[in-house]
Structure 1
């Protein structure tokens, strides 16, 4: 039985992203397939957090609203780095490796910060029952985004451009 605790679900996604980074760094792996899975996971994960988790966490007085805002900002930075990698045609090129490392840096920085701030705050201040409810909402939203092909280069480009406007 997999957990429905929103904190555990978010952590599972973070670990899966780390696995995919290892695959994308491996020149013998199917880097394009790993990137495709990663792109969908990153966009679905961040969108579900912003729609279902962050608004709920903002309501807790012991959860820092600035941490929530900062996390949203970091999602945008990760999306920009993702788009830059998606736009590289040759997965064996130096450019691909460079853009991958920029993406790894952006995502790992965010995941690390989120785990130390928001997720620990959620563990301390949000009841198990509420975390399970948020987990269900997060999982459903994430699945909807994945079904809609949220990781496509066209969709990621739209997301990046919507922030610049």
Structure 2
């Protein structure tokens, strides 16, 4: 079994748990919500792009991984990016609007993470060899780091992603 440091399934799950932690911080009126959102935006965008570039194309090659689940996940990334952009564009982190947009983002991301964990990630655990999951983990981690280094969570970048996906 690949280590938790290299298994693509474990790396994706770790990001999902970090996103949940950041949601808790963003819901806390006493916390630095803007800083948490900044970290969250980078993480969400880097995570989604790395999945779409490195993980999903590989999973499509396995007959026991449902292509429809892959397509659905890509669609849900688009919805999450739209919700993220809406939150990034709210200037006052103490406003009711900010809290409403946050909840829309939480709903979109949690729905996607839950579905992805029950479908694609379980399929990957069952059908993809440990060595291949480790290779995918390395590719995912590298792509994710490159996107983070490039500032992928900036409002300008998220705006461009949403615009290019027809959102």
**TM-score in same-fold range (> 0.5):** yes
2:72 is aligned to: 70
Indicate yes or no: 2:130 matched with 1:116: no
Query: Which residue pairs with 1:25 in the alignment?
Result: 27
Could you say which residue in structure 1 is the equivalent of 2:131?
129
Aligned partners of 1:2 and 1:53: how far apart in 2?
Answer: 16
Give per-residue Cα distances to partners, 1:74-129, cap 9 Å, x unaligned: 00000000000000000000000000000000000000000000000000000010
Partner of 2:143: 141
Counterpart of 1:93 in structure 2 is: 95
Which of 49, 52, 58 is the aligned partner of 1:50?
Answer: 52
- How many angstroms apart in 2 are the aligned matches of 1:159 and 1:11? 23
What is the CA distance between 1:2 and its match in structure 2?
A: 5.1
Specify the alignment match of 2:17 in structure 1. Answer: 15
Q: How does 1:144-159 map to 2 (within 5 A)?
A: 144-159=146-161
Secondary structure at the residue paired with 1:82? Answer: helix
Match of residue 102 from structure 1: 104
Superposed CA RMSD: 0.9
The C-alpha deviation readout for 1:38-82, integer Å capped at 9, x for no partner, is 000000000000000000000000000000000000000000000
Give structure 1 stretches of 5+ with no counterpart: none
| Whole-angstrom CA distance in 1 between matches of 2:98 and 2:112 | 21
Long gaps (5+) in structure 2: none
User: CA shift at 1:164, angstroms?
Assistant: 1.0
Moved over 6 A (4+): none
User: 2: CA distance between counterparts of 1:2 and 1:11?
Assistant: 10
